[in-house]
Amino acid sequence: MTKVTFWQYQTIICKGAWKKFSQKYGIRDFIVSAVVGLIVGIMTESLLNALATLGVFFLIYFAIYLGHYVTEHVFVYNEQERRINAFWPQDLDVRVYESDVREMKDEEGNIVPIMTFEVVNADKRRKMMELEAEIQSVHHTSIDKADGAMTIPFFPEQKGMWDDNTTTITLRPEGKALLFIAYLDRRPKENPVRVHFGEGSFTNHLFDREAMYQFGIKFTGKMDGELEFRQSHVMRVFYANPAQNELYSSELVKAISIYEEIPKPLIKIIEVADQGYWYDYSSPFQRQQKQKQKEAREAEAKNAL
């Protein structure tokens, strides 16, 4: 990549401004101005008046050129942004909402709790093509009897399933579709009921605990008429208690009475996520805070003796 110095950049701006200026005001305009100045000099029999007339015309043209010089900076910026966007498309304009669909029948006819979201193409004119949703990361927060609240990250890298049982879909302008993210099930049958993610049924032995799941979804697709794929990332939270066959979105948790029954450390995940942040009880900062709280409790108990 060639680096441009300050003076090289100014030269580019000046040339661009002169090109636009000369397209509107050519040599003919300067000749006309000189002729007008000459005529004024002849009529007034004064060389000073002729030079003054030429000077006024020069100042007018110079002011117009300065206007082109100033606007040329804006033109160069917009052109650079256009070229950059050609290589790096804008984010995929999708909207992700809580869904009312919370159950489905499995292969054996049993009712299974599921986690779904309604995905909407926010573009009013173009279709969204080859749209996929990948569950990239999952932060699992549960309460351990010995260590208290702990967060463990997982990386399922599983495709979400659309309501037509495919992993790729096309959405019409302002069209919408259901996206299946997770469900409760026994797989294999000898295992306890656990949370499973995505097309490949990603799970872990910890997923049979009461827990809060904070997860990220990467949407990938392209707009009709474009060659480059766009991306968009969203973060959502849901609560699961497999022993009680419960799987609720964060919005539903806040709306029903179960909110008061969920352990406060798990509720903290929802509160922080509502502000757009990830929360990790196992981060170095959180461990440090937990250690300080523990030392404070021990000191308080010691002083009470």
| Average pLDDT of span 166-185 | 94
Instruction: Spell out the domain ranges in the chain.
Output: 6-87, 94-297
Residue 23: per-residue pLDDT: 73
Could you tell me whether strands 148-154 and 176-185 are parallel, antiparallel, or unpaired per DSSP bridges? Answer: unpaired
102: left (phi over 0), alpha (psi -120 to 50) or beta: alpha
290 or 124, which is more confident: 124
| CA-to-CA separations, 290 to 52, 166, 263, 267, in angstroms, rounded | 82, 44, 17, 17
183 or 303, which is more confident: 183
Considering only CA atoms, give the Rg of the chain: 33
User: Which residue intervals of the chain are DSSP H helices?
Assistant: 6-24, 27-44, 47-87, 250-255, 264-273, 284-304
Residue 100: per-residue pLDDT: 85
Is the whole-model pTM more than 0.85?
no
49 with 29: CB under 8 angstroms? Answer: no
Q: What is the pLDDT of residues 73-125, one digit of tens each?
A: 788 777 777 766 665 557 888 999 988 888 888 777 778 899 999 999 999 99
| Average pLDDT of span 290-302 | 75
Residue 182: per-residue pLDDT: 94
Residue 34: per-residue pLDDT: 66
